[in-house]
Each structure stands twice: as structure tokens, then as C-alpha cells.
């Protein structure tokens, strides 16, 4: 088995190249399960290793813990297929590389053998999930068989995903991008801002990893949001050709987006990037405004991405739990700029810079209440207070309070927003880990807190929402 290595030791191997090799499977969550199904299709019984095993077996395989013999077992393999959560920059990966082991990821293995002319990869700090979902919806509405896959759904190499598709729209996280040695001709980048610094090690490394899709072998056209100052500043990393997507672009913009029913200018730009992906893929119907308008109908916004949950005593509750960094929180504030907002912000502290969010909050014209939550909460609260002092009387009134849990913070936000007819916005700008299993559990807790507010309110409004488990 040949094991050519590219930049960052990314092996240019396809799944079929693993046949007959000694393979390790490192990381046993959702993508790990897809990797195992694909390996079994190849007749491979891998060595199964996890950093923190949930059970002694996985898919009938005995599981080794990384720190208790697992890494030693992986070092005896020819190839290790790792899950995205395992940092390619970490010392354990470096140790395997020194031992001569090729460390691969499922997406990179798939792209080596896929018909990349029918694949568009969508990445970005914010907006990639919505953009990928929009592109898939539009393709389906235009009569094509499209799979929206990757970070947003089933891995495209999972046997359960099937292969009878006209196009693949693949959402790619920065973690997954580090495993890719060959890119499709069309890559979309929706935004760029510091994130995942604990995994990548630095802002510069995060930017390099995120944008590496634009310059790997096979990359041709990068579709980029022209409104992103950071993308503009890193234009030299966007590959051979760049299509800067902007509002008012005569090839992309128009009334066809009205049928999507998405709020906010950021959602509008996501729709334009999605259309540019279709045009980049050579989909002829994508140039027709009328056909695009018909295809746009029926789009269901993503759960937990800037969705109204209902109104309680004149106060609207908005779930934006998918907001895990500064950019989506800024977009949510922009969409609600004319309303008093009680913002619930905070979560796992990954060391990112919250100054841009603090300045935006302090500069709002409308009244604002910031309820900060652990663990990043105290740091965010301090940034907001400092920004408010710096702006002085030039902004609207802003109040900041730190809370220990989401329920208490939501109740206080509701009490603040009720006399003002305001909005309680959960847009945390941080991951949920620490207090919650994931952003879905955090959103469920927000729903519970909203219902508690409805129960305590003497004049209950409509607080209807669908609870997701």
C-alpha cells in the first residue's frame, strides 16, 4: 500500500487503498461509527481506540483506551483513521507520524475517490450549516438528487448514505479540513473569525487549517462572502480563483430569496453563496430566477439557529443555541437591531477574543441587558463593561449581570425584557460543553426556562414550541 504524504502529513489515500492494510480506528462517536461501517465493507477489522470509551466494546470490537495501551496498538498500524475531534496538531498524532503511521480522516479518504466535479465543500466560522442546507434544498427543488452531508449530516462515505446522488454538498469543519489532501473544484467559505483555538493552537493555525480547502490539489473556485473583512484580509489563501459574493450581485441576488423566508442580512448572504455554489457546479437551472424562486419554497430553517420559540407576555424568545462564536452572535444582534434585547451569552471558554462582541453590544442604540453564563461569562461581562465605559453616552443603556445557570439568567432576562416589549435571545457565542452535553441540550434547557417564565407570568402569551430530544 502506497502512503504518499502531503502538507501537514495528510495522506493522499482513498478508502479502497486501505484494503489489506492493518488499520486503526481512533475515535468512536458518530463519525467513528460511519468509519467502522465503511471499513467493514472493505473486509477490514480495525483496532478500535478511544480517548474516553463509553463502553468496553464498539460494534462488536474490543475498545482500547488511548492512555492505556491504545496508542501503542495504533502505532503498529499502517493507517489510522481518526475522528475529527482528535487534533492533527496534538502530540499523539505526531507520535504516530514519527512511527511511520499514516493518519487519515474519513473525508479526505472519500474525496480522493469521489467525482469531485459533482461535490461542493462549504466551510466557514459561521453560516456553513445554513448555506449547505440551502444549497441542498435548492438542488432538490430544481429536480436533482442532492445529499447534504458531512458536519451537518451523515458522512458521505457512510454506506448508509448511499451513492446514487447527482451532487454532494458537504459541510466541512476546520477539524475535518486538516484531513483533506485533495479538494473539489468548488469550495465556499462563508465567514472567518477566531474559533477552536484550543484544537488548532492559535488563530493563525485555525485560519490556515480552515482555508486549506481552497488550495489543496484540485481546488479551483473559492466562493467567499465579500462582507467578511477577515476573508478579505486573507484573500491570498483563497486559491486560484475567487468569486466575492455580495448583496446586489446581478447574477445572484433578487426577489427569489423572498420565498426562503429567512430573517437577517446574514441569512440573505448565505442564500447568495448557496446559489453561487450551484452555478459553480455547472447546474444550468441555477441561472434562472423564476426556477430558483420555485425551488426556494418550503425551506425549513435549521433548528437552534436564530429561531423564534414564541412570545410570553409580549416578550419574544429566540433560540440561537448553535451560536458558538462571536460572528453568529453579532449577526443575531444585527437582525434584532431595532429591539431591546436581553442576551444570554457564555459557555465553554476557548480563549477567543470577545472584544468585537462587547463593542457591538455597547454601541447599540436600543437598551440591552447582557446575562453572562459560565465559564466564559465573567470574561465576557468584563469586556462588555469596559466597552460601555469607553463609549459612554454614545450608546443605549446597557446592563450586565453574571449568572451561574441558564434558568436563573433566563428568568432575569425575561423580567428585564417584559416592561420593554423586548427579546430574550440565547446566542451564547460559546460552545455548551461544561454545563450541557451539546447545543441541543442547552436549547432544551432554554425552552424549559421559557415555559417557567410563562407559568410565572400573569398574562401568558403564546409559548408554543417543538421540543427536540
Whether 399 is covered by a domain: the verdict is yes
The CATH number of the domain holding residue 34 is 3.40.50.720
Whether 464 is covered by a domain: the verdict is no
What are the angstrom distances between the C-alpha of 115 and each of 35, 118, 183?
20, 6, 11
- Identify the helix (H) or strand (E) that includes residue 312: strand 307-312
pLDDT at 460: 47
- Which of 201, 194, 432, 174 has the alpha carbon at shortest distance from 326? 194
Please count the structural domains in the chain: 3
53 and 69 in a single domain? The answer is: yes
349 and 368 in a single domain? The answer is: yes
Whether 133 is covered by a domain: the verdict is yes
Whether 189 is covered by a domain: the verdict is yes
287 and 255 in a single domain? The answer is: yes
Which ranges of the chain have pLDDT less than 70?
Answer: 1-8, 392-395, 457-469
240 and 143 in a single domain? The answer is: yes
Whose grid coordinates read 465576557? 380
Domain boundary pick from 108, 138, 161: 108
Residue range of the domain that includes 386: 307-456
Whether 466 is covered by a domain: the verdict is no
98 and 225 in a single domain? The answer is: no
pLDDT at 6: 44
Whether 418 is covered by a domain: the verdict is yes
Helix (H, G, I), strand (E, B) or coil at 396: coil
pLDDT at 7: 41
pLDDT at 144: 98
pLDDT at 394: 63
pLDDT at 463: 45
151 and 99 in a single domain? The answer is: no
Whether 363 is covered by a domain: the verdict is yes
Please tell me the distance from the alpha carbon of residue 66 to that of residue 462, in angstroms, as a whole number.
50
Domain boundary pick from 269, 296, 323: 296
235 and 326 in a single domain? The answer is: no
The CATH number of the domain holding residue 256 is 3.40.1190.10
93 and 206 in a single domain? The answer is: no
Amino acid at each position: 500500500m502506497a502512503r504518499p504524504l502531503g502538507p501537514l502529513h495528510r495522506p493522499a489515500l482513498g478508502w479502497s487503498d486501505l484494503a489489506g492494510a492493518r488499520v486503526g480506528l481512533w475515535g468512536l462517536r458518530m463519525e467513528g461509527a460511519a468509519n467502522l461501517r465503511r471499513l467493514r465493507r472493505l473486509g477490514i477489522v480495525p483496532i478500535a481506540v478511544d480517548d474516553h470509551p463509553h463502553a468496553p466494546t464498539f460494534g462488536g470490537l474490543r475498545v482500547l483506551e488511548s492512555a492505556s495501551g491504545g496508542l501503542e496498538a495504533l502505532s503498529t498500524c499502517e493507517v489510522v483513521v481518526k475522528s475529527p475531534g482528535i487534533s492533527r496538531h496534538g502530540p499523539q498524532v505526531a507520535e504516530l507520524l514519527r512511527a511511520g503511521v499514516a493518519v487519515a480522516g474519513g473525508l479526505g479518504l472519500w474525496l480522493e475517490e469521489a467525482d469531485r466535479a459533482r461535490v461542493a465543500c462549504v466551510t466557514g466560522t459561521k453560516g456553513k450549516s445554513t448555506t449547505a442546507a440551502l444549497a441542498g434544498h435548492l438542488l432538490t427543488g430544481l429536480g436533482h438528487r442532492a445529499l447534504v452531508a458531512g458536519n451537518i449530516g451523515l458522512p458521505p462515505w457512510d454506506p448508509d448514505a448511499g451513492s446514487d446522488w447527482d451532487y454532494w454538498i458537504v459541510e466541512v469543519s476546520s477539524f475535518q479540513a486538516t484531513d483533506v489532501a485533495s479538494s473539489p473544484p468548488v469550495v465556499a467559505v462563508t465567514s472567518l473569525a477566531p474559533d477552536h483555538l484550543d484544537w488548532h493552537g492559535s488563530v493563525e493555525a485555525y485560519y490556515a487549517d480552515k482555508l486549506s480547502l481552497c488550495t489543496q490539489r484540485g481546488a479551483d473556485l473559492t466562493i467567499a462572502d465579500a462582507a467578511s473583512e477577515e476573508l478579505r484580509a486573507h484573500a491570498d489563501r483563497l486559491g486560484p480563483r475567487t468569486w466575492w459574493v455580495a448583496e446586489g450581485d446581478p447574477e445572484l441576488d433578487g426577489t427569489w430569496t423572498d420565498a426562503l423566508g429567512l430573517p437577517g442580512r446574514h441569512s440573505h448572504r448565505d442564500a447568495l453563496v448557496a446559489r453561487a455554489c450551484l452555478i459553480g457546479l455547472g447546474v444550468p437551472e441555477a441561472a434562472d430566477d423564476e426556477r430558483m424562486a420555485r425551488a426556494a419554497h418550503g425551506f425549513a430553517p435549521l433548528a437552534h439557529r436564530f429561531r423564534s420559540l414564541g412570545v410570553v407576555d409580549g416578550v419574544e424568545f429566540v433560540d440561537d443555541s448553535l451560536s458558538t462564536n462571536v460572528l453568529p452572535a453579532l449577526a443575531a444582534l444585527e437582525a434584532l437591531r431595532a429591539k431591546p434585547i436581553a442576551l444570554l451569552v457564555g459557555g465553554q471558554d476557548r480563549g477567543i477574543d470577545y472584544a468585537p462582541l462587547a463593542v457591538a453590544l455597547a454601541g447599540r442604540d436600543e437598551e440591552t441587558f447582557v446575562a453572562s453564563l459560565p465559564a466564559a461569562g465573567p470574561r465576557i461581562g468584563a469586556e462588555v463593561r469596559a466597552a460601555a465605559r469607553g463609549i459612554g453616552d454614545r450608546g443605549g443603556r446597557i446592563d450586565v449581570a453574571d449568572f451561574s445557570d441558564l434558568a436563573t439568567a433566563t428568568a432575569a432576562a425575561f423580567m428585564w425584557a417584559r416592561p420593554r416589549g423586548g427579546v430574550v435571545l440565547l446566542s451564547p457565542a460559546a460552545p455548551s460543553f461544561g454545563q450541557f452535553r451539546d447545543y441541543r441540550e442547552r436549547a432544551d434547557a432554554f425552552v424549559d426556562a421559557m415555559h417557567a417564565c410563562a407559568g410565572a407570568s400573569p398574562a401568558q402569551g403564546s409559548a408554543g414550541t417543538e421540543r427536540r430530544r
